[in-house]
Chain A
Amino acid sequence: MNSISRRRFLKISGATVVTAAALAGASKTVVKAAESYSKPKGLQIIPSYCDLCFWKCGLLAYVKDGELWKLEGNPKDPLSNGRLCPRGTGGIGAYFDKDRLKSPLIRKNLRGEEKWIEVTWDEAFNYIADKMNKIKGQYGPEAMALFSHGIGGNFFKHLMRAYGTPNETAPSFAQCRGPREVGFELTFGDIVGSPERTDIENAKCIVLIGSHLGENMHNTQVQEFSRAVEKHASIIVVDPRFSVAASKAKYYLPIKPGTDMALLLAWMSVIVNEKLYDVEYVNKHGFGFEKFASEVSHYTPEWAYVETGIDPDIIRETAREMARYKPATLVHPGRHVTWYGDDAQRSRAIALLNALLGSWGRKGGFYIPYSFSIPKYPYPPYPEEKETVHNPDNKYPFATGEQISTGIREATITGKPYPIKGWFIYGTNLLQALPNQSETIKAIQNLDLMVVVDVVPSEIACWADVVLPESVYLERYDDLNASPFKEGFVGIRQPVIDSPNDQKPNWWMAKKLAEKLGLGHYFPWKDIEEYLDTRLKSAGLSLDELKKEGIIKGPSKPIYLEDGAEIEFATPSGKIEFYSTQLEQSGSDPVPKYTKHPEPPAGYFRLLFGRAPVHTFSKTQSNALLRDLFPENELWVNSDLAQRYGIKTGDKIKLKNQDGVISDPIKVRATERIRQDCVYMVHGFGQKSRQLRSTYKVGASDAELVTQYKTDPLMGGTGMNVNFVTFEMEV
């Protein structure tokens, strides 16, 4: 091996040698295809906002002599402060991706066989409209469902409401942050939201429970975390794996997976029993504190030690540490929290711990966010809709804000409470996002129509009847971004370069399809610029100015209680509910209780998964810039355990789960940085789309091994950290 490959492969994040695809020429080919228009000379710097994840950081695109050169953060943007994360910086790789979809496709053979006929947009829309009209005639419009992730789905949401279906979902609820939002809403009457309202930079004590900031690159949070480290914040990390964040921590608690609730209850008992809580805050804002206190006071650190493996003295010490810095102690609510099926209650316990510390609404805790208010476009009213399908008989009583993706999947399989015959999927790879792939595939078999809109032939696109190729974010306008944050702002996404082939933006697809469906009057604007202009004018803003600046900020407001910000607890009592009458009425625990979760049988290990800083879900693996730095995932195995099994770093093994499902081969990373009762891999690999040549079966898919999931009785979330795997040595 020469020094070049040593450098590339050994020094970057521990990645090891793979066959390097000869791609140097591929990107040039794509650029050449775009040379039909006359390229402007010189350097253009065009503001927009990022789409590599959902954070929507403001960016500046540098286009040199008509060629896309690089992306930087927009210094005016409060989310990025002029610094994109590695994915955002590598965003040009999405434009140059050699496996991009180029034209609309209609399925030729059976679903999933990946045989396609290239068609015109008109043919594709005719096909879809014909099927949608048939579905409407036979089953009613509610038999269509939309799965959508990201702001690019907005115009399809509008289209589906206009068509007459109420069934619209995103896996970001029941497969990700839903339990957190429900747990916090039950307690404080409001959700955490996105971007999270965490005031990390001002926190004097930060508690991360499984949340691996730094590997999980939510830009603002990582920037603020770094500032907190600089200011010597006391950091407490609870994780079965020694994460990057753990390396910055004063206390690292190597908890046994599945026992976080025991630790939370013990922490609360110490804080209650030693009267370390924010008495004034609790008295002023709390409801049902006495009942809560008498319940939690029984969970001693000694009891929790048996469950968690954490030394009782450390439990006491860390509880006191949190209390010492209150209210500037932030017990971070996490984001991907669908772990064990009692996740809404665990999230509620986190909310209650924060309530004890008085951190909700306080500097260094959870600030009170606000948005730049921009009126919606004045559309005609939607037709009357049937009940949604995702949660029949209100089985999950607190799945109220958003819909349960797996509930729509279930209805598609069973036809109850009514049939779902069409799936329209935008920007989400359901095969990796939903647990138990065989259920997803079973549901797909019941469909009369499946449409996937994507930029690359993702795994879910393989199963579609029609695939619509979308322009990447650098080639299109999207809706305005006015996320709730520490300051009000509005950001624009606008094209910085032309699409290289026949890709089209989502708004154009939605409008054209609406016209085919006889719903053109729901899209009264000529193009999206007219739509954006209308919205902006109604807020007293100008499209031209926003296109020039990328970001316009609104007037500032106080965001902390101590600065005069107003807070409303939209709970039944109008207060912070230490004791929840809503939960009591629904037959659930009004104060969280500990549930003991099954442990892996002998010879099996709990499968855990998480994020790498250069990838988002399963959507960035084919981006050559990002793939270069993290080409495949590895299986983290504790060094002693690896030695016992005779496996070492770099060995390829397969994993077999409790149901006999066997993974693709994955490289072992023998490390001291993880417990012996679990293994860990980065999510999003082991993809099965043959058209994604660079990622096909590279690494292993955790999603494939997640055949079991435990459903949260409060809100239908799917706990996915309940699968156990063993090592298959023969590869």
Chain B
Amino acid sequence: MPRYGMVIDTLKCVGCSDCVIACKTENNIPEGYNRDWIVTEARGKFPTINMEIRTERCNHCSETPCVSCCPTGASHIHDVGGVVLVDHEKCIGCKACVEACPYDARYIHPDGYADKCTFCIHRVEKGLKPACVEVCPTYCMHFGDLDDPNSEVSKLLQSRKWHVNLPDAGTKPNIFYLV
């Protein structure tokens, strides 16, 4: 079974937010909310500055505090690709998962359920890429099977330096940032 993940090239990302807008239109995210976002980190003293720009979202972790804390089983791991999903019907909006996520990747949708990135599983199951990956004008986002050593994402991880967000959280995130 595949393990879906993303590899994002921070050297190419310009932080334009196209991924955020594409996600919002693809998934009808209401105004004021979003499933993905941009982080810009600048370090140093002018003019010697080091800057990393990242597009972030749910890391679809292999160790999932958001799933283990869910009292209703709404938060679950999908049977394809290890994608972490929320069953809107089962969700009671208790916010336990929102608090448990160290990446602050979840929010309560105005309709009352916890919501977050789905890796656009509805697209992926049709053979398409997630909307954010498909739209990116810098081609900085890559999606695929991390367990397949021949996949584009695996090859990128083998050939480039990378980091994950909050490695100490013990969540084993499946989004990797190339540096």
Q: Which residues of A contact B (CB under 8 A)?
A: 3-4, 6-8, 11-14, 20, 23-24, 69-73, 83-86, 89-90, 92, 213-215, 217, 219, 222-223, 225-227, 229-230, 242, 244-248, 252, 254, 613-614, 624-626, 628-630, 638-639, 671-675
Contact = CB atoms under 8 A, between A and B. Distances in A.
Contacts of A671: 42
B98 A3 contact: yes
Contact of B46 (A6, A242, A625): A242
Interface in B9-67: 9, 11-12, 14-18, 20-22, 24-26, 30-34, 37-40, 42, 44-47, 49-53, 56
A7 B38 contact: no
Contact of A14 (B12, B20, B40, B136): B40
B104 to A, nearest CB: 6
A69 B11 contact: no
Contacts of A24: 30-32, 110
Contact of A70 (B14, B25, B107, B110): B25
Contact of B32 (A3, A90, A628, A675): A628
A47 B123 CA distance: 21
Nearest to A613: B16
Residue of A69, A83, A223 with highest tally of chain B CB at under 10 A:
A83
Given A230-B12, A672-B49, 18 more contacts: A3-B107, A8-B107, A11-B104, A12-B17, A12-B34, A84-B137, A89-B135, A90-B21, A223-B138, A230-B139, A242-B49, A245-B14, A246-B51, A247-B53, A614-B16, A614-B17, A628-B34, A639-B46
B59 to A, nearest CB: 14
Give the most central of A7, A20, A671: most B CB within 10 Å.
A7
A85 B137 contact: yes
A254 B15 contact: no
Interface in B132-162: 134-140
Nearest to A671: B42
A587 to B, nearest CB: 39
Contacts of B38: 11-13
A675 B15 CA distance: 22
Contacts of A626: 21
B108 interface: yes
Contacts of A4: 33, 107-108
B31 A624 contact: yes
B17 A7 contact: no
A72 B17 contact: no
Nearest to B99: A3
Contacts of A672: 42, 44-46, 49
A92 B25 contact: yes
B122 to A, nearest CB: 13
Given A13-B38, A72-B134, A629 B21 contact: yes
B20 A12 contact: yes
Contacts of A675: 46
A84 B39 contact: no
Interface string B106-122: 11101000000000000
A662 B9 CA distance: 43
Nearest to B9: A230
A24 B29 CA distance: 10
Nearest to B48: A252
A83 B40 contact: no
Nearest to A630: B17
Nearest to A57: B137
Contacts of B56: 11
A30 to B, nearest CB: 14
Which of B44, B138, B139 lies at the interface centre, i.e. has the most chain A CB atoms within 10 A of its CB? Answer: B138
A629 B42 contact: no
24 contacts: A8-B107, A12-B37, A24-B32, A24-B110, A72-B134, A84-B18, A84-B135, A84-B137, A85-B137, A214-B14, A214-B15, A215-B14, A242-B47, A242-B49, A245-B14, A246-B49, A247-B49, A614-B16, A624-B31, A625-B25, A625-B31, A628-B31, A629-B17, A673-B51
A223 B46 contact: no
Contact of B37 (A7, A83, A248, A254): A7
A585 B98 CA distance: 72
A246 B106 CA distance: 33
A627 to B, nearest CB: 9
Contacts of A14: 40
A13 B40 contact: yes
A671 B52 CA distance: 15
Given A222-B16, A629-B20, A90 B139 contact: no
Question: What 6 A-B pairs are tightest by C-beta distance, nearest first?
Answer: A214-B14, A226-B138, A11-B37, A613-B16, A247-B51, A254-B47
Contacts of B46: 242, 254, 638-639, 672-675
Contacts of A12: 17, 20, 34, 37-38
A13 B140 CA distance: 17
Contact of B16 (A3, A85, A674): A85
Contacts of B106: 3
A6 B103 CA distance: 12
A84 B131 CA distance: 12
A402 B52 CA distance: 42
Contacts of A254: 46-47
A130 B179 CA distance: 65
A89 B108 CA distance: 25
Contacts of A23: 31
Contacts of A246: 49, 51
A8 B31 CA distance: 10
Contacts of B51: 242, 244, 246-247, 673
A613 B25 contact: no
A223 B56 CA distance: 20
Contacts of B45: 672
A625 B37 CA distance: 14
Nearest to B43: A672
A230 B49 CA distance: 21
B30 A89 contact: no
Given A8-B32, A12-B20, A613-B14, A226 B40 contact: no
Given A14-B40, A614-B16, A673-B42, A226 B25 contact: no
Contacts of B138: 214, 222-223, 225-226
B25 A89 contact: yes
B47 A7 contact: no
A83 B21 contact: no
Given A4-B107, A248-B11, A222 B25 contact: no
A70 B26 CA distance: 6
Contact of A83 (B12, B47, B99, B136): B136
A672 B51 CA distance: 11
A625 B17 contact: no
Nearest to B11: A229
Contacts of A624: 31
Nearest to B109: A4
Contacts of A20: 31-32
Contact of B139 (A7, A226, A252): A226
A630 B21 CA distance: 12
Nearest to B18: A86
Contacts of A229: 11-12
Most buried by A among B32, B52, B106: B32
A254 B107 CA distance: 41
Contacts of A223: 137-139
A671 B37 CA distance: 21
A90 B26 CA distance: 11
